[in-house]
Chain A
């Protein structure tokens, strides 16, 4: 069953991927717009920042990846480091 669609998976076509990404971007924009329309409960004063969760998620994850990448410089060893 797997052989007849060897390298023509849906995600192999760049136009499909860019279509999907466009939908994704639109959803992101809608979520930020919703932040200004919907009255959300404020449990903490920091939440008063517009689109607080969106900003926090984006910045948090970027920092996570950059720090993790930097950690590689002193934590990374060969695959069989402990077997030598």
Chain B
């Protein structure tokens, strides 16, 4: 009941926002030209959906962001976790990682064109680059913050450094890793989007750029709405991964024989 009311409330807020937009747009044709209006954007969305023109664009942007996100998360996390083995290395690398992480992605984008061309790989590289430093920093901190008592219990049982890493550090820092991944979902999309803005012939970024070059505001906004949808989908996806992290730990970090005690009879 409460949930239904909440949905209704949100729907009303949306409706109010849209109608105010519409009213403002009706004030003068110049405003209407600059900000478009819900009634001019809606047909654009329908048009993009109807003949399927949107599909390759969504796949281009979403695919580049997804590949970049996975690549950046995996690379950054593996390297970040490995810094646990050497405190010195972690301290040594920290300022460099921070510096590289602070570099605006737009600044390296032209370089990516030189390295990877103007195709799909360039967008993946940009998405990867936007995520890798956050993944590295977070997993490095996560590995460091695993409670000393867990490590002590394992060391007390004569485990080697490698065993401590596998049994305590990796599962113990996954909260941080998945937290970083959720944060990165947005960054990856932004990276891919910027790549398309710079050089592309397909993708949502391309669609927005082309439409605004033609002063077709409704179409640009329609494309932007698809980006919002894509961002929400990414957030949901990484939220699902985060939610099921216990299952992921069970699957990868614990021997199959110990999974369920009751069923081993």
Is B one of A's binding partners?
Answer: no
Chain B interfacial positions (CB closer than 8 Å to A): none
